[in-house]
Amino acid sequence: MSIIDALGFRAYTAPAKRFTSVLVTSGGTFTIGSFGPGSTAGLRFASNEGSANRDDYVRRALPSNQATLFLEFGFKPSKIPSATNEYKIAVFGDSGTHQVRLHLDSLGRLKVVRGDATVLATTSATLSAGVRYWIGWQVTFHNSAGVTKIQINGVEQLNSTGLDTTNTANAYANEYWFGSGNPGPTQNLDNQTQDYDNVLVSTDAFKGEVVVLEDLPTGTGDADDGVATGAADTRQALDDSNPDDDSTYTALENNGDKFLLTFANLPAGVEVLACGTLTYAKKSSSGTAKFKQNLKIGSTEYLSSVEVAPSNGSYDYFVDLQETSPDTSSAFTESEVNGMQVGAERSA
């Protein structure tokens, strides 16, 4: 599995729940709304000026440490920074510490920075205010043989090697951040917005521009062993665009318990890059509780090789994306996904 995270901003509307943490100072805001291309879904960071010491971000933890990461996303800045400013637009981090940052400078160039201030490389290509771009950013983490690459709208604009891309003692990252903040001691933020859409995180290659479709269930499939609270059945407990935690949920109480759900058809004519689940889960007490993604294709159920162990008492999102169909060992087809039932099974 080379795609390890994806954000479409379509099914879930609360940044504080979709990201591991959110920090806003001096009046900045993060909002999920119609900020993507053609008024599709996206994430907007709105700055309200502030001081050079401010730092506004949303941070998403990845499932494991990664020596190489590819981050791709739609991006539209409302302004290009003034001469004394730079906007921090993305970060790869190591457990809360910046490893490498991606800045937009006052000439509209993309700049790769180690830690908070050491410039590693800068594109000659520039961005313009009010224009959406598809940004691809790769970093391989190493203290002397690091690599960073940038693509803009699918065209390579930067390929720099032999770098020190580690700001901590570790040659990896385990989280990514969006937002802005203080890239240098003289920076003051403008009143501006940064729009993000269709985020993809991979470990092996740039995938190119994608649309990340996130859908809520529309019906119950062939199994529902879930014990629903606050709703008539599992489907109704799980179809919230803003998850309400313990108000409505379903519980898989015994090993082997499972549920399967149905979803709306894909838009006609799409090419499927990957398919899987975005599950919001916790365990309710101490002890062992694990689950696996369950895809039912035709009459056969396929359990994922990824076993998820939610934390005790704290909800989080778990992403499990597969790039090949377990039924055919080839790419998913539109008709296959349309007929598929998707759910989870308790495994321990």
181 and 323 housed in the same domain = no
Q: Is residue 279 part of a domain?
A: yes
What residues make up the domain containing 271? 219-346
Give the mean pLDDT of 3-13: 92
Residue 120: CATH number of its domain: 2.60.120.200
Q: Assess whether pLDDT exceeds 70 at residue 53.
A: no
Within-domain flag for 160: yes
Q: Quick check: is 39 in a domain?
A: yes
Q: List the single range of 7-11, 26-30, 259-263, 278-282 with lowest mean pLDDT.
A: 26-30
Q: 41 and 153, same structural domain?
A: yes
Note whether 243 and 325 are same-domain residues.
Answer: yes
Report yes or no on 207 lying in a domain.
Answer: no
For 99-138, write each residue's pLDDT tens digit.
999 999 999 999 999 998 899 999 999 999 999 999 999 9
CB atoms within 10 A of CB 46: 18
CA dist 332 and 76 (Å) reads: 31
Task: Give the sign of the dihedral formed by CA 14, CA 17, CA 22, CA 26.
Answer: positive
181 and 303 assigned to the same domain: no
What sign does the CA torsion over 109, 10, 294, 60 have?
positive
Is residue 124 in some structural domain?
A: yes
**Judgement on whether residues 174 and 54 belong to the same structural domain of the protein:** yes
The DSSP bridge pattern shows strands 193-202 and 42-46 to be antiparallel
Domain shared by 172 and 241, yes or no: no
Backbone angles phi, psi at 15, to 5 degrees: -55, -35
**Residue 213 is assigned to a structural domain of this protein:** no
pLDDT of residue 285: 87
Residue type, 173: A
Number of domains in the chain: 2
Is residue 212 a part of any domain in this protein? Answer: no
Q: What is the pLDDT of residue 224?
A: 97
For residues 185-194, give the mean pLDDT.
65
Q: At a CB cut-off of 8 Å and minimum separation 6, what does 195 contact?
A: 35, 36, 42, 43, 44, 45, 74, 75, 76, 77, 78, 132
326 and 240 inside one domain: yes
Mean local confidence (pLDDT), 254-263: 98
Instruction: Note the pLDDT of residue 86.
Output: 85
Give the type of residue at 17. K
Section 42-54 average pLDDT: 73
Give the pLDDT band of residue 186 (cuts 50, 70, 90): very low
Residues 147-176, mean pLDDT to the nearest whole number = 98
339 pLDDT higher than 90: yes
Looking at the predicted structure, is the pLDDT value of residue 311 above 50? Answer: yes
Q: Are residues 147 and 268 in the same domain?
A: no
Average per-residue pLDDT for the chain: 92
Which domain-ending residue is among 172, 202, 232? 202
User: In this model, does residue 51 exceed pLDDT 60?
Assistant: no
Report pLDDT digits (tens) over 322-333: 999 999 999 999
Residues 261 and 342 in one domain: yes
How do residues 58-69 score in pLDDT, each as one tens digit? 999 999 999 999
Residue pair 200/57 in contact (Cβ under 8 Å)? The answer is no
- 99 and 224 housed in the same domain: no
The string of pLDDT tens digits covering residues 202-245 is 999 999 999 999 999 999 999 999 999 999 999 999 998 888 99
255, 171: one domain: no
Pick the closest to residue 69 from 171, 169, 217, 204 (CA basis): 204
Helices and strands (H, E) in the chain, number of each type: 3, 24
Say yes or no: 22 and 125 in one domain: yes
Which of 236-245, 251-260, 268-277, 301-310 has the least mean pLDDT? 236-245
State how far the alpha carbon of 1 is from the alpha carbons of 14, 110, 268, 276, in Å.
Answer: 27, 29, 26, 11
